[in-house]
């Protein structure tokens, strides 16, 4: 549907002035933003498995990574587990580049995870922090809330860097 829309817009742009086509493009932007919002509200509440795309919430330079291996669990990784991830999008001049393979800790997961007292916790999105082989974070800052379960998993450095602990 989007493809057909864009082709129509393109035709309009060609037939009339260029300025008009610019306007048409401007009008189409909110719809794409809305689609993005929809995607966020419908964040899949499943295990982190192979090909899961995750947000990176540190300043290592990566923006988006893809899970290529969950190091724990038969079905996949959950909140607090370590995965192997391939960098799909990265900032220019960061510590990591696109195509790099790194270890990462899942610090936020949309799938509910049981707590030690029997209650459950879940987050808005799926997010990771990149770590090196020794388990130390590659970046020097961590954004957003992280769960206190990371203490049990021995990721104390991430906990101390985090803004909020939930």
| Identity of the residue, 108 or 155, whose beta carbon is nearer to other proteins in the bound complex | 108
- For the bound state, the minimum distance from the C-beta of residue 150 to other proteins, rounded and expressed in Å, comes to 13
Task: Between 13 and 145, name the residue whose CB sits nearer to other proteins.
Answer: 145
Minimum distance of other proteins from residue 113's CB (angstroms): 10
Residue 136 contacts residue 60 (beta carbons within 8 Å): no
CB of 121 to other proteins, least distance (A): 5
Contacts of 143 (CB under 8 A, 6+ apart): 57, 58, 163
Contact positions toward other proteins, by CB under 8 A?
Answer: 108, 112, 117-125, 144-145, 147, 163-164, 166
- What residues contact 95, with CB distance under 8 A and at least 6 apart? 60, 61, 138, 139
| Residue (14 or 120) nearer to other proteins, CB | 120
Least distance to other proteins, CB of residue 115, Å: 8
List, in sequence order, every residue forming a beta bridge with 103; answer none if it has no partner: 84, 131
Angle at which helix 2-15 crosses helix 18-41, to 10 degrees, equals 170
């Amino acid at each position: 549907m989007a493809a057909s829309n864009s082709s129509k817009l393109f035709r309009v742009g060609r037939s009339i002035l260029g300025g008009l086509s610019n306007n048409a493009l401007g009008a189409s932007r909110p719809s794409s933003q809305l689609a993005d919002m929809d995607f966020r509200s419908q964040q899949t509440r499943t295990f982190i498995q192979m090909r899961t795309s995750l947000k990176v919430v540190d300043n290592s330079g990566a923006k988006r990574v893809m899970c290529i291996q969950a190091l724990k669990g038969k079905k996949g990784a959950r909140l607090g587990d370590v995965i192997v991830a391939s960098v799909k999008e990265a900032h220019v001049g960061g510590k990591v580049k696109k195509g790099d393979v790194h270890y990462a800790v899942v610090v936020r997961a949309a799938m509910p995870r049981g707590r030690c007292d029997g209650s459950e916790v879940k987050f808005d999105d799926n997010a990771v922090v990149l770590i090196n082989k020794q388990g130390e974070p590659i970046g020097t800052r961590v954004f957003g809330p992280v769960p206190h379960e990371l203490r049990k998993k021995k990721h104390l450095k991430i906990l101390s860097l985090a803004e909020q602990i939930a």
